[in-house]
Structure 1
């Protein structure tokens, strides 16, 4: 596996008060298996698809028993330098840069419009060992009520190039420098989102059959928020798992319609 360019999503994890319940849920819906928990690192437990690392689950840190949420990490060659850029661009640093043994270094922040994100500087742990295939990460979208602040932040910190979708929806995609394919989407949270729902990053996991994944998720008490719906990018659906973490599933092999026009933004 090649290293991820700076600013590209490279890892995802989530804290769950019921880790065993999360393992059963995602094991059934996404086909994941799980390694041994690492007591040295807060019982951090990696998830695998076809024997390759695709994500991780962990209990909440003491005193942080809030709603579960997936956290997306962006690759960086120097996490301290990225933290400094993020702070200068208006981010709140939730966890200062720290080394995680020989695995790498990390930080957590909240960008000015309110979404929480992570940054990962790889050591022995390089990031996703599998992505873009069933059972693994494939895409992510920033959902925000203040798109101008979010757009400005991500472009400033990661030097993203932005494109806007040419239709009525306020949607942008971001590219890392020198890369043709986008690495991140940004969606405006409109009145369809209740005011109590905070900004978040929705992580998409690829599945071979979106309808079957939704059926399995709902059978385990997940809430269907949207879809399943066909699109030029694949058939997808948005869900909230039984512990409150939002995520999406998509079958990228089932596409309908023409790709939308994109213009520089």
Structure 2
């Protein structure tokens, strides 16, 4: 079992109204295969390695959404830090069989995330490869509260994106109010970043809540966007070039939002 560094994203899952429809959608989109998980869940596999999980919603009032989990070696201490830093604990630590212990929390802006203390399952067996998780970021309107929260809870060391793209002309992309997170004990910057924070501006609807957006690596961003549409999903942000490749924000055929990233050609 490969261990994850403290505070690193280690798992994603999606809550869906129709689990079987979700398996059809993501199976065709990313080439995933599935095996039965605990309860109304399915483990997603890419080339036989764990990449994510799909779950049937137990309550129709739950959001149809992708969720991300951060690794911790002491989930009780992490939960205590969430409370001390002004966050909310939604689900107290609970064992997930022998796989590990999970909890759910929300930051001061309302964005929900998970905590995972590994047992027999560390998390992803495949990441940063086509068809697997590669990045996550929180979108918030309350950066003044959220930035210190993640630094206190996870020990993240932060760097503003403007400091990271100094060789890039002054375009809209470089002016985005964006901050990257690097794990404790590392030098903050693009080589160590595991996630980040973006600000929701007034250009977005007021009802858009704070949320995490998780990205999956793909070989062809534009083709992936077309496939999502063919499968009944939507393109919410069309493919565009950013300093780290080509990305798009997409929505599956049940309403769960995710992003894809095509890395630049080497």
TM-score by length of 1: 0.91
- Equivalent position to 1:60, from 40, 57, 60: 57
- Aligned position for 2:215: 204
- Aligned position for 1:226: 237
- Equivalent position to 2:45, from 36, 43, 48: 48
- Aligned position for 1:169: 176
* Number of aligned positions between the proteins: 251
CA–CA separation in structure 2 for the residues paired with 1:194 and 1:243: 21
Q: Could you say what secondary structure the match of 1:54 adopts?
A: strand
CA–CA separation in structure 2 for the residues paired with 1:47 and 1:134: 14
CA contact (8 A) 1:67 1:243 kept: no
Q: Could you say what secondary structure the match of 1:185 adopts?
A: strand
Superposed, 1:50-199 pairs within 5 Å as 50-61=47-58, 63-166=59-162, 167-180=174-187, 181-199=192-210
Q: Spell out, residue by residue over 1:223-261, the C-alpha distance to the aligned partner (whole angstroms, 9 max, x if none).
A: 211121122311110112222211001111448xxxxxx
Q: Spell out, residue by residue over 1:47-72, the C-alpha distance to the aligned partner (whole angstroms, 9 max, x if none).
A: 010100000011112x3533311110
Gaps of 5+ in 2: 163-173
CA contact (8 A) 1:37 1:43 kept: yes
Q: 1:222, CA displacement in angstroms?
A: 1.5
CA contact (8 A) 2:17 2:60 kept: no
- Aligned position for 1:23: 23
RMSD: 1.4
CA–CA separation in structure 1 for the residues paired with 2:254 and 2:146: 27
Q: Could you say what secondary structure the match of 1:216 adopts?
A: helix
CA–CA separation in structure 1 for the residues paired with 2:234 and 2:40: 27
- Aligned position for 2:257: 246
CA–CA separation in structure 2 for the residues paired with 1:101 and 1:142: 29
- Aligned position for 1:235: 246
Q: Could you say what secondary structure the match of 2:145 adopts?
A: helix
Q: 1:19, CA displacement in angstroms?
A: 0.7
CA–CA separation in structure 1 for the residues paired with 2:116 and 2:264: 30
CA–CA separation in structure 1 for the residues paired with 2:60 and 2:232: 24
Q: 1:179, CA displacement in angstroms?
A: 3.1
CA–CA separation in structure 1 for the residues paired with 2:112 and 2:82: 12
CA–CA separation in structure 2 for the residues paired with 1:50 and 1:121: 25
CA–CA separation in structure 2 for the residues paired with 1:83 and 1:245: 27
- Aligned position for 1:263: none
TM-score by length of 2: 0.90
CA–CA separation in structure 1 for the residues paired with 2:135 and 2:209: 20
Of 126-135 and 42-51, the range deviating more from structure 2:
42-51
CA–CA separation in structure 2 for the residues paired with 1:85 and 1:27: 38
